[in-house]
Amino acid sequence: MTGRLLLLLAAALLTLAGAAVTRWGRDAGFDPLSASARAAATASAGAAAQREPVGVGALGRVEPASRVRKLNQPGGFAVSRVQQMLVAEGDRVAPGQLLAVLADAAQKDAAVGQAEAAVAEARATLEKTRAAGRPSEIAAQRARIENLALQEGISRRDAERAERLVPSGAGAAAVADRNRVAAARAAAERAEAEAVLETLSRPRPEDVALAEARLRSAEAQLARARADAALSRVTAPIAGTILKIHTRAGDQVGTDGLLDMADLDAMDVVADVYETDLARLRPGAPAEIVVPGESRRFTATVREIGWLVRRTTQAGTDPVAAVDARTVEVRLTLGEDGRQALQRRTNMQVQVAIRP
């Protein structure tokens, strides 16, 4: 009996000691059961993370969806001075609106006026050729033909009478010959007058063709003069906002051109994504844009994935990163909040996080 009691007391002491150790471990922050559970949960989370697709991070820049348009003098570098600058930075312009006038505009406008006068002259000549003769000229020619016809008749009758008198001796042969010559001359003059009347009534096809060719040549010269005059004026290619003016009135046009403009109604972020990350991208993927100095993040959507792989243009801060990394431009469309906040921050560098 005494031995059994000793065994029971020893078991109770062992149980109390185990409970004390467990309570001490929990109070110290160590729980063997919870530690093993946490290890199992971490392992399952890591496996799940390996199964889920990974997002893409990149550096990018803010840019209008229309791209920045750099406008230069249309006529090349023959004339490099601005006569008038008709807009200021921040102005909104419409397509085709006149923005600047170069120094040779007056000279080219004069050439246009001269070409227009040449076209008017050629057109008048063609109309005159087609009309042949004026009504007064045609009437006068017809009257002349009638007069010549009368003279021809009189000369012919005189010649006939003189010929009848020659055999009887009452008339001289010389008189008869003169009358015959006068009749022939009158007939020839009448035929000539009728030919002139025909010319006045109906123009010759070759004259009309020549006048038409001269008109076409004059019109071509006018079109060329107008095209040259247009090269002395700079117009807006799209609707947008003037971002920067590089050349003022009276200044020579430099290598930066005249001005920069863009349509700020739609803004993009252009991200330089490493070529190894392209497989994880898709059009329509959501993204977040982190802007330096902004506490909020802006939403964006992948719209275009570039077609050209090139060397990276973004300066990295990782000292062990590959310096010859190759990237592809990916364009993301900013949401309305981002568009309003970044409308005046073209070319600003931002961070891009594209979710899978």
Which one of 160, 195, 219 terminates a domain? 219
Q: Check whether residue 191 and residue 272 sit in a common domain.
A: no
Q: What percent of the chain has pLDDT over 90?
A: 48
Residue at 290 is within a domain: yes
* Secondary structure of residue 177 in the 3-state scheme: helix
- Strands laid side by side in the 98-102 sheet: 82-85, 98-102, 233-235
Higher confidence at residue 320 or residue 130? 130
Residue at 344 is within a domain: yes
Question: For the chain, what is the domain count?
Answer: 3
Give the tens place of pLDDT for each residue, 235-269. 999 999 999 999 999 898 888 899 999 999 999 99
Residue at 252 is within a domain: no
Mean pLDDT across the chain: 80
Residue at 185 is within a domain: yes
Higher confidence at residue 65 or residue 313? 65
The enclosing H or E element of 40 equals helix 32-51
- Integer Cα distance of 20 and 250 in angstroms: 94
Q: Check whether residue 18 and residue 62 sit in a common domain.
A: no
Q: Check whether residue 61 and residue 32 sit in a common domain.
A: no
Range in 74-78, 85-89, 262-266, 333-337 with the lowest mean pLDDT: 74-78
Give the tens place of pLDDT for each residue, 209-237. 999 999 999 999 999 999 999 999 999 99
Q: Check whether residue 214 and residue 265 sit in a common domain.
A: no
Domain that holds residue 156: 114-219
Q: Check whether residue 119 and residue 215 sit in a common domain.
A: yes
In the structure, what pLDDT confidence band is assigned to residue 324 with cuts at 50, 70 and 90? low
| 212, burial (CB in 10 Å: exposed 0-12, middle 13-18, buried 19+) | middle
Q: What percent of the chain has pLDDT over 70?
A: 72
Higher confidence at residue 199 or residue 90? 90
- Integer Cα distance of 270 and 18 in angstroms: 64
- Integer Cα distance of 330 and 338 in angstroms: 17
Higher confidence at residue 28 or residue 76? 76
Q: Check whether residue 10 and residue 63 sit in a common domain.
A: no
CATH code (residue 336) = 2.40.30.170
Give the tens place of pLDDT for each residue, 165-212. 666 554 566 666 677 777 788 788 878 877 776 666 677 788 889 999
Q: Check whether residue 191 and residue 279 sit in a common domain.
A: no
Most distant pair of Cα atoms in the chain: their distance: 207
